[in-house]
Amino acid sequence: MSTFRWLTSVVRPELRRLAAAALLGALAMACSIGLMATSAWLISRAAQHPPVLYLTVAIVAVRAFGIGRGALRYAERLVGHDAAFRVLGRTRVRAWIDLDRAAPAGLGGTRAGDLLTRVTRDVDAIQDLLVRALLPLAVSLLTGIAAVALLTALLPAAGAVLLIGLAVAGLGAPVAALLLPARAEHRFASVRSQLTTDVHELLTGLPDLTAYGATDQRLGQIRRQDARLTGILRRSAFSDGVGAAVANAALACTVTGEILVGVAAVRDGRLAGVVLAVLVLTPLAAFELVTPLPAAATHLVRGWQAAGRLHALAGLPAPSVAWGTDPVPAQALSATAGALSASRLIVRWPGAAAPAVTGADLDLRPGRRVGLIGPSGSGKSTLAAALMGFLTPEAGQVTFCGTGLAGLDEAAYRRLVVLCGQDDHVFDATLRENLRIGRPNATDGELFDALDRVRLGAWVRRQPGGLGTTVGERGARLSGGERQRLVLARALLADPAVLILDEPTAHLDGPTADDLIHDITRATEGRATLLITHRHRDLEAVDDIVGLSEENPCTNSPESPCPPRKPPISTRTGAPPTISPWARSTC
Ligand SMILES: Nc1ncnc2c1ncn2[C@@H]1O[C@H](COP(=O)(O)OP(=O)(O)OP(=O)(O)O)[C@@H](O)[C@H]1O
């Protein structure tokens, strides 16, 4: 879809409101011009001292135009902004849907600062495109025609002079505003986005930059971007000024032209003397139309760029599973039918040259714990992402209770299968709010129960704020181990049938890691659990072990097909699983 079609699709539902706003704006401007024209006539006529009765209609008209101008302008702002905010809401929702569709695995090629700029400033630029560019253009066009028609009716030559003046100012000023900074203006959005990205990276990486003494270098980079943006804005302001100067020069020439043709017409007797003031003063009001046009041209270009950048979000890779609408199947779980299985999976990250996982098999059954081991980079987390449906396998299938993920309802699946990852996000909120992501209506007692299961309860009770303690951005006020146990407690609160734990003992000292594994063993009783780990001691807690090899030489292409999967490095079968009654009824 082209940017134009994308823009049309978000604006189309509000077209009637926007047309009403344009009409109200045009009527307000018409009142403004009418006020000026009637006042000019009234002053000239009053100078002839006619009976006051002759002036009554004009006096009433002046009052009506004066009141109408204010009331109509208010109504235009109300209707126009209402329409713009509706478009804004729709654009923002659409941007979020595009991001949601791509997240989490499709956002690898994007930068947080750039995305932030798109969903905030680029969306705002769409509002400016509507209320500061398209509406003023429409109002100028409508009212300009009316003003020229009025003067043409009084004196055709005067109408022609106004037409030429408005055309020069209405086209010349915006073109001057656009042509001068054209190249710079087209770089505006990307430079602004780069600046936001650099500032965002500086703030998030400040501790490391300070530690390496690299802050000045980064600040220098930000200063250079800031100087580029300032340069663009300065050139923009200069060309806006040139546009305004063109408009004012055109106004001066038009008024002079009106005086010349008007005086000639009065001399020839083609025009009544009292109407001369109308010819001379009406352009003053009519030129109010062109004053906002240079800025409108700038907002048009910026809004168009913003629309292109927002439209590009729809093109982000969406590697997640295309979920179905069926709820999770209702057949009973059994020890033989895998709750969550993967067979001959080949998984590739978007844009990667080769698959990260080739031919993996896995069978997670209720009540059994499986340990997943392999060297760093062998694809353990990638396999977990595929089990969660974040990545669609190139080949092979992930099934839950015998049904492929593409046939299942996503929300139902997410309630039953939970991933507790290595770098799960901790929100800048209280402990309570972070935990309740796992179970929104959990009581404080249930939260403490989960915290005790990961040995964090005593620490939370010692905090003056208890569960209300704030944890800082990305959990900055917690130690690595506390953060890890907090996200594990959150996963346990979700009470899933299948729990995938990606290196839960990372960041922990040996004894604490042993205790945590012991607690995990208790907490996962009756569930299907996948424990991804580098610690061989952790494997004592599992029933089966599956190993991934680092060698992934194939690309799953005809030239380099993937070989049949090697058998697991070692497989140990433990005691028969215990299946809790609730786990049996899960599927
Ligand atoms: N978000 C991503 N986008 C693109 N490629 C990725 C992404 N995450 C991982 N990869 C690539 O996939 C491959 C496997 O990475 P993965 O994280 O699955 O390995 P791992 O076995 O979990 O490693 P570790 O034990 O170090 O956590 C790596 O080559 C990595 O570069």
Q: Predicted confidence band at 334 (pLDDT cuts at 50, 70, 90)?
A: very low
Determine how β-strand 417-420 pairs with β-strand 498-502. parallel
pLDDT at residue 367, as a whole number: 86
pLDDT of residue 572 exceeding 50: no
pLDDT digits (tens, 9 = 90+) for 448-457: 999 998 888 9
Assembly ipTM? 0.97
- Whether 381 is in the pocket of ligand 1, judged by its Cβ within 6 Å, is yes
- Asked which of 230-239, 379-388, 578-587 is least confident by mean pLDDT, the reply is 578-587
Q: Where are the beta strands (DSSP E) in 299-375?
A: 340-347, 357-364, 369-373
Q: Domain segments of the chain: what residues?
A: 3-315, 330-547
User: What does the pLDDT average to over 476-488?
Assistant: 88
pLDDT above 70 coverage of the chain, percent: 90
Backbone angles phi, psi at 304, to 5 degrees: -65, -45
- Whether 356 is in the pocket of ligand 1, judged by its Cβ within 6 Å, is yes
- Asked which of 324-333, 414-423, 428-437 is least confident by mean pLDDT, the reply is 324-333
pLDDT at residue 532, as a whole number: 93
Centre of ligand 1 from the C-alpha of residue 424, in Å: 15
pLDDT digits (tens, 9 = 90+) for 90-105: 999 999 999 888 888 8
Centre of ligand 1 from the C-alpha of residue 548, in Å: 12
pLDDT of residue 575 exceeding 70: no
**3-state secondary structure at position 166:** helix
**Minimum CA distance residue for ligand 1 atom 4:** 349
Query: How far, in Å, CA of 486 to CA of 423, rounded?
Result: 12
Burial 148-166 (b: 16+ CB within 10 A, else e): bebbeebbebbbebbbebb
User: What does the pLDDT average to over 546-569?
Assistant: 53
Q: Assign domain 330-547 to a CATH class.
A: alpha beta
User: What is the H or E stretch that residue 417 is in?
Assistant: strand 417-420
Ligand 1 atom closest to 379 (CA): 18
pLDDT digits (tens, 9 = 90+) for 60-73: 999 999 999 999 99
- Whether 375 is in the pocket of ligand 1, judged by its Cβ within 6 Å, is no
- Asked which of 91-105, 208-222, 504-518, 552-566 is least confident by mean pLDDT, the reply is 552-566
Query: How far, in Å, CA of 113 to CA of 199, rounded?
Result: 8
pLDDT at residue 259, as a whole number: 92
User: What does the pLDDT average to over 355-367?
Assistant: 87
Q: Are 503 and 534 in contact (CB under 8 A)?
A: yes
pLDDT of residue 470 exceeding 90: yes
**3-state secondary structure at position 452:** helix
pLDDT of residue 561 exceeding 60: no
pLDDT at residue 522, as a whole number: 82
pLDDT at residue 329, as a whole number: 63
What CATH number has the domain spanning 3-315?
1.20.1560.10
Centre of ligand 1 from the C-alpha of residue 390, in Å: 13
Query: How far, in Å, CA of 82 to CA of 575, rounded?
Result: 66
pLDDT at residue 429, as a whole number: 92
User: What does the pLDDT average to over 264-279?
Assistant: 88
**Which one of 107, 382, 538, 550 would you pick to mutate in the ligand 1 pocket, going by the greatest count of ligand atoms within 8 A of its CB?**
382
pLDDT digits (tens, 9 = 90+) for 289-330: 888 887 888 888 888 888 988 998 888 888 888 888 777 665
Average pLDDT, the chain: 84
264 or 185: whose pLDDT is higher? 264
pLDDT at residue 568, as a whole number: 40
Query: How far, in Å, CA of 583 to CA of 587, rounded?
Result: 8
pLDDT at residue 547, as a whole number: 85
Most confident of 367-381, 400-414, 430-444: 430-444
pLDDT of residue 571 exceeding 70: no
Quote the tokens at residue 71. Answer: 């009331």
Predicted TM-score (pTM) of this structure: 0.72
Query: How far, in Å, CA of 586 to CA of 365, rounded?
Result: 12
**3-state secondary structure at position 120:** helix
User: What does the pLDDT average to over 479-502?
Assistant: 90
pLDDT digits (tens, 9 = 90+) for 1-49: 688 899 999 999 999 999 999 999 999 999 999 999 999 999 988 988 8
Q: Are 335 and 577 in contact (CB under 8 A)?
A: yes
User: What does the pLDDT average to over 541-558?
Assistant: 67
pLDDT of residue 361 exceeding 90: no
- Among residues 186, 193, 194, 196, the alpha carbon closest in space to that of 304 is found at 186
pLDDT of residue 181 exceeding 80: no
Ligand 1 atom closest to 378 (CA): 21
Q: Predicted confidence band at 86 (pLDDT cuts at 50, 70, 90)?
A: very high
